[in-house]
Amino acid sequence: MKKIYKWIAVFVLVFALGFEVVRTVGVGAESNESKVFTLLTSKYGYNNAAASGIMANIYHESSFNPRAVSGPSIGLCQWLGGRKSNMFSYAKSLGYSGYSVEGQVAFLDHELKTGYSSLYSELKSTSNTAQGAYSAAYNFCYKFERPANKAARSAQRGNSAKNTYYPRYKDKGAVTNLESDSSAAADETSTYTRGTYQTRLAMNVRASANKNAKVVGYVSGGSSIKVLSVKNKKWGKIKYNGKTAYVSLKYSTKAN
């Protein structure tokens, strides 16, 4: 009888741990999902329907895990062969890790522009509707991912975009050309000092204190950033991935 209780206890423990693992993975996946949406819309200019179509494909390919591996394929879109090598090289050229969401989404946009220009044009002209999300997902799967049984799987992903991702993200704001959005900017006479700030928009993070400097990353809207000092009146010096970087404080509110 003791052995039976022992095995029951083991089963309950494994069952509980299993749920904890699923819960933890789910939280990470959700965070990456939001990050992908912000990048696609705020940084690369896709509308919500097109972004939903791309995201439906990413979900089916990798569950938003940039380190996902399936045989020789890796990443959000399961790149392989020369495309995989190109992804790592391109991400590195921008200062990103090839295993980062930022680096992989940057390469995805680059690859669409340079190797799939027709599909890129279709995605950029997608109607911002549920049916537009379906079409974006279908076309992305059929022309970019090209899995086995691609017609059936394209339809499956189209339905995921239409019924899951577009309803979830259709009302999320997409901001482009962040640093010229005067509606969110503070008055030009504002004085900035070191301290903690909260961003009002998704913000580009730059290598130096001017709007033409290289973009090295981004922070999402509502993020808390610690400004170490202020340069050129409005540029906050921060630590980003362990390195010195800058964000425009015109689009942030001081918290303390």
Distance CA 232, CA 192 (A): 10
Using pLDDT thresholds of 50, 70 and 90, give the confidence band for residue 25.
very low
What distance lies between CA 136 and its chain's CA centroid? Answer: 17
The larger pLDDT score, comparing residue 149 to residue 204, is at 149
pLDDT of residue 204: 78
Query: At a CB cut-off of 8 Å and minimum separation 6, what does 27 contact?
Result: none
Question: Tokens at residue 222, please?
Answer: 């509502």
User: Per mean pLDDT, which range of 112-121, 148-157, 175-184 is the poorest?
Assistant: 175-184
Q: What is the mean pLDDT of residues 52-78?
A: 97
Enumerate the β-bridge partners of residue 70. 73
Question: How much is the pTM?
Answer: 0.62
Least confident of 35-49, 161-175, 177-191: 177-191
The CATH architecture assigned to 2-169 reads Orthogonal Bundle (1.10)
Whether residue 17 is predicted with pLDDT greater than 50 in this model: the reply is no
Nearest to 173 by CA among 197, 202, 198: 202
Which part of the chain has CATH 2.30.30.40?
Answer: 178-254
Those residues whose C-beta lies under 8 Å from the C-beta of residue 35, and which sit 6 or more positions away, are: 101, 102, 220
225 C-beta neighbours (distance < 10 Å), count = 20
Least confident of 3-12, 27-36, 90-99: 3-12
User: Span 80-102, mean pLDDT?
Assistant: 95
- Looking at this protein, which amino acid is placed at residue 150? K
Q: Whole-number mean pLDDT of the chain?
A: 82
Q: Which residue has the higher pLDDT, 121 or 1?
A: 121
pLDDT of 28 higher than 50:
no
Smallest Cα–Cα separation from 89: which of 71, 115, 107, 108? 107
Three-class SS of residue 215? Answer: strand
Which tops the pLDDT comparison, 32 or 252?
Answer: 32
Instruction: Flag the least confident range among 49-58, 90-99, 214-223.
Output: 214-223
Residue 72 or residue 184, greater confidence: 72
DSSP line for 54-113: HHHHHHHHHTT-TT-EETTEETTTTB-HHHHHHHHHHHHHTT--TTSHHHHHHHHHHHHH
- All CATH 1.10.530.10 domain ranges of the chain, comma separated, are 2-169
Domain 178-254: give its CATH code. Answer: 2.30.30.40
Q: What are phi and psi of 97, to 5 degrees?
A: -75, 145
Per-residue pLDDT band at 64 (split at 50, 70, 90): very high
**41 CB contacts (<8 Å, ≥6 apart)?**
47, 48, 51, 172, 174, 175, 176
Ramachandran category for residue 215: left, alpha or beta (phi over 0 → left; psi -120 to 50 → alpha): beta
Q: Is the pLDDT of residue 128 over 50?
A: yes
Q: Is pLDDT at 150 greater than 50 in this prediction?
A: yes
